[in-house]
Copies of this chain bind each other. A is one copy, B any other.
Amino acid sequence: MKKLMIAAAAFFILSAFTIIQKKQRIVFFGDSITQAGVKPDGFITRLGEMMKQKGIDNNYELIGAGIGGNKVYDLYLRMDEDVMAKNPDVVVIWVGVNDVWHKRSFGTGTDADKFEKFYNAIIKKLQAKNIKVLICTPASIGEKTDFSNEQDGDLNKYSNIIRSVAKNNNCQLIDLRKMTLDYNLANNKENKDRGILTLDGVHLNETGNNVVADVMYKALIP
């Protein structure tokens, strides 16, 4: 009888614990790449499936907050509504491709100094609410491996800025730029500009979504 009561007590304590334990809410905040991440084959969906396989999907809630064409200042403008309002525990920011790309395509990219300023402002607002922030470098605008994609120089420059922003704000860095370059050096022997991790040089194909999901998993799950 005593044993039974102890067992019952243990059961209730564990139940209580489970009830108390809140799911960790992770918001993915970014541009069209993140927006596509919640599609059936997207990296956020894939990340959820990996968590299910590991039996930890009850511990995490994954929310996509990507909008096509967004630059760093667009994130700043909509962060109250799209991120803060969701009370996240963790925010993964992935932005920068359009800040560089739109310089050439529309004349509306982002100055390097302002890119840094807005990025810092976003992080400070999140950290002030004790939200954990992970930030990503932009993966690619073209997958050629000899640095002859037209905007490689600027993309490397903005990746350097993000690396420094991560350091200055004690943010965990997910270096997708480096990951992409390394992956392509190993797997893109023909120096193609697309088709390895991306459909068009920028947006992830199936392999890209899987590789990014793997990297994100390692970064997010201790």
This chain's copy number in the assembly: 4
Q: Nearest Cβ distance between residue A169 and chain B, in whole angstroms?
A: 17
In the assembled complex, which residues on chain B have CB atoms less than 8 Å from the CB atom of A103? 104, 106-108
Q: Which candidate, A29-37, A141-149, A210-218, is the interface stretch facing chain B?
A: A141-149
Q: Name which of A13-21, A54-62, A154-162 contacts chain B.
A: A154-162
Among A106, A142, A149, A160, residue most surrounded by chain B Cβ atoms (within 10 Å): A106
Contact among B76, B108, B117, B151 with A153 in the assembled complex (CB-CB below 8 Å): B151
A154 to chain B: closest CB distance in Å?
5
Q: What is the minimal beta-carbon distance from A7 to any residue of chain B, in angstroms?
A: 57
Q: Say yes or no for A152: interface residue by CB 8 A criterion.
A: yes
Whether A150 is near chain B, meaning CB under 8 Å from some CB there, is yes
Residue total for A at the interface (Cβ-Cβ under 8 A):
32
Residue in B77, B108, B152, B159 whose CB lies within 8 Å of A110: B108
User: A104, A150, A151, A156 — which one has the most chain B CB atoms within 10 A of its CB?
Assistant: A150
* A192 in the interface (beta carbon within 8 A): no
Q: Is A109 an interface residue (CB 8 A)?
A: yes
Interface residues of chain A: helix, strand, loop or mixed (majority): helix
Chain B CB within 8 A of A114 CB = yes
A111 on the B face (CB < 8 A): yes
Binding site for B on A (CB under 8 A): 73-74, 76-77, 102-104, 106-111, 114, 117-118, 121, 142, 146-157, 159-160
Knowing that A77-B121, A102-B107 touch, tell me 13 more A-B residue pairs with CB under 8 angstroms. A73-B73, A73-B77, A77-B118, A102-B111, A103-B106, A106-B111, A108-B111, A146-B156, A146-B160, A147-B152, A148-B156, A148-B159, A153-B154
Closest 10 A/B residue pairs (Cβ): A152-B153, A103-B107, A148-B156, A148-B157, A147-B147, A73-B73, A150-B154, A108-B111, A153-B153, A150-B153
